[in-house]
Amino acid sequence: MFSTFGLAFALTLTALATWSISDERRGSDAVAEVAGVEHRGARTFLMVHFTTDRGEVCQSTLRVTVDAGQAVNIGDNVPVHHANSDPCLRVREAGDPSGGLITLVAVALLIMFAILTNVAWRRPRPPLPLRYADMP
């Protein structure tokens, strides 16, 4: 029962990851203006304003990877990539490859639960006949 639920969950997760990645690839790049910079420990978050190809004006917060020698200031322009369906909500740095991680996790879960389902559903071996019961 658990492995069946897990397999259905893994299939759903894989389908959602596939849809998300295809939606990201259908999105486009834009140049965003930095409206705010916030440092939270080792992480840097930018509040950016940009306009999509369809003319939507968006404001979003995104995490960026900033080297120690590179500073991002308010008013700077940074390249961003936005998704096709939710351009204001799903924004990331242009060239950020982090979207593939969810696919790897989904495929690993799919394989694991497929193996568990196979183990749970396979037919049990028939018992040995009684004439062989005392044999080693």
H or E segment and range at residue 29: strand 28-40
Q: What is the pLDDT of residue 124?
A: 74
Q: Per the domain annotation, does 134 fall within a domain?
A: no
97-123 b/e with 16+ CB inside 10 Å = b? eebeebeeebeebbeebeebbeeeeee
Q: Give pLDDT tens digits for 6-30.
A: 777 777 877 787 787 777 778 888 8
Q: Per the domain annotation, does 29 fall within a domain?
A: yes
User: Is 82:28 a contact under the CB 8 Å cutoff?
Assistant: yes
Q: What is the pLDDT of residue 84?
A: 84
Q: What is the pTM of this model?
A: 0.63
Q: Give pLDDT tens digits for 48-95.
A: 999 888 888 989 888 887 665 467 788 888 888 888 888 888 888 877
Q: Per the domain annotation, does 28 fall within a domain?
A: yes
Distance CA 73, CA 118 (A): 55
Domain that holds residue 48: 2-121
The CATH number for 35's domain is 2.40.50
Distance CA 59, CA 74 (A): 14
Q: Per the domain annotation, does 52 fall within a domain?
A: yes
Check whether 100 has a pLDDT greater than 80.
Answer: no
Q: Per the domain annotation, does 133 fall within a domain?
A: no
Check whether 46 has a pLDDT greater than 70.
Answer: yes
Q: What is the number of residues in the chain?
A: 136
Distance CA 128, CA 132 (A): 7
Check whether 111 has a pLDDT greater than 70.
Answer: yes
Distance CA 83, CA 81 (A): 7
Q: Per the domain annotation, does 72 fall within a domain?
A: yes
Q: Per the domain annotation, does 126 fall within a domain?
A: no
Q: Per the domain annotation, does 129 fall within a domain?
A: no
Count structural domains, the chain.
1
Residue 49: partners with Cβ closer than 8 Å, 6 or more residues away = 32, 33, 35, 57, 58, 59
